[in-house]
A and B are shown apart, each in its own frame.
Chain A
Amino acid sequence: EPEVTQTPSHQVTQMGQEVILRCVPISNHLYFYWYRQILGQKVEFLVSFYNNEISEKSEIFDDQFSVERPDGSNFTLKIRSTKLEDSAMYFCASSVGHQETQYFGPGTRLLVL
């Protein structure tokens, strides 16, 4: 069964450094999303992406964040200058259509020191 994959599974970085989190959505899906889950808290929407542009972003998704689909398979989330409060589990999701079920990847656990 096809699934969303994410790399790396864990990432440790120093405050102020740039990180890129990678996702490979399910191959026939057209809509892509990033969510995050701070430890012990609920899952929060960050951004949605379709047709090579951002469809919507939350207030969390400030200028330090960017997303890109650099090729036909990868979908990336970049944090330009990480802060301590960026430490969280980041989930990628994809769906066939914007009304269809979103399928989530296993997540990348980011720790900013």
Chain B
Amino acid sequence: AQSVAQPEDQVNVAEGNPLTVKCTYSVSGNPYLFWYVQYPNRGLQFLLKYITGDNLVKGSYGFEAEFNKSQTSFHLKKPSALVSDSALYFCAVRGLTSGTYKYIFGTGTRLKVLA
């Protein structure tokens, strides 16, 4: 069965420091991986995805993610965090069941960037 794990409920980082939000996955076949961000009282905003190609994927707002097949990980990174990056981040894997693609989300990681 496909699954996603986000081992950290919360990550705190000082403004200007690099940030990493962790995600590991379990999927049969080639993984299709996504990161979404949710700001307070807002919907899910697409950040980036990995389908194939370069293991380092660049996305919106300066975020990037590194796909590591051997470690089955897809960690979200940013070289220099901003206070405005504080939000809830969800990792998702696309699963195929009964001929339909659906997203399976992790439990989310709350990122707090401290000024």
**Cβ < 8 Å to B, chain A residues 31-61:** 33, 35, 41-45, 48, 55-56
Interface hits, A86-113 → B, CB 8 Å: 91, 93, 98-99, 101-107
A101 to B44, CA, bound (A): 12
Given known pairs A42-B90, A42-B105, A42-B108, the reply for A106 and B98 (CB within 8 Å) is no
Query: Is B49's CB within 8 Å of the partner chain A?
Result: yes
A35 to B32, CA, bound (A): 19
Measured CB to CB, the nearest residue on chain A to B49 is A101
Q: Are B100's CB and A55's CB within 8 A?
A: yes
Chain B residues within 8 Å of A44, by CB: 105
- Please state if A103 and B46 are interface contacts (CB–CB under 8 Å): yes
Task: Verify B105–A43 contact, CB threshold 8 A.
Answer: yes
Output the nearest chain B residue to A46 by Cβ-Cβ distance: B102
Bound-state CA distance A14–B99 (Å) is: 37
Q: Which of B34, B46, B101, B106 contacts A42 (CB 8 A)?
A: B106
Q: Mark B44-77, 1 if CB is under 8 A from A, else 0.
A: 1110010000000000000000000000000000
Does B20 touch A at the CB level, under 8 Å?
no
- Closest CB-CB distance, B36 to chain A, in whole Å? 7
**A42 with B107, Cβ < 8 A, contacts A101-B49, A104-B43, A107-B43 known:** yes
Q: Mark B77-115, 1 if CB is under 8 A from A, else 0.
A: 000000000000010100001111111111110000000
Q: A91 to chain B: which residues have CB within 8 Å?
A: 43-44
A26 vs chain B, min Cβ distance (A): 12
Cα of A65 to Cα of B92 in the assembled complex, Å: 24
B102 in complex: contacting residue of A33, A101, A103, A104, CB < 8 Å: A33
**12 A-B residue pairs with CB within 8 Å:** A42-B105, A45-B102, A45-B103, A48-B101, A56-B97, A56-B98, A56-B100, A98-B101, A104-B36, A104-B44, A106-B42, A106-B43
The 4 closest A-B pairs by CB, nearest first: A56-B100, A106-B43, A104-B44, A43-B105
Chain B residues in the interface with A (C-beta under 8 A): 32, 34, 36, 42-46, 49, 90, 92, 97-108
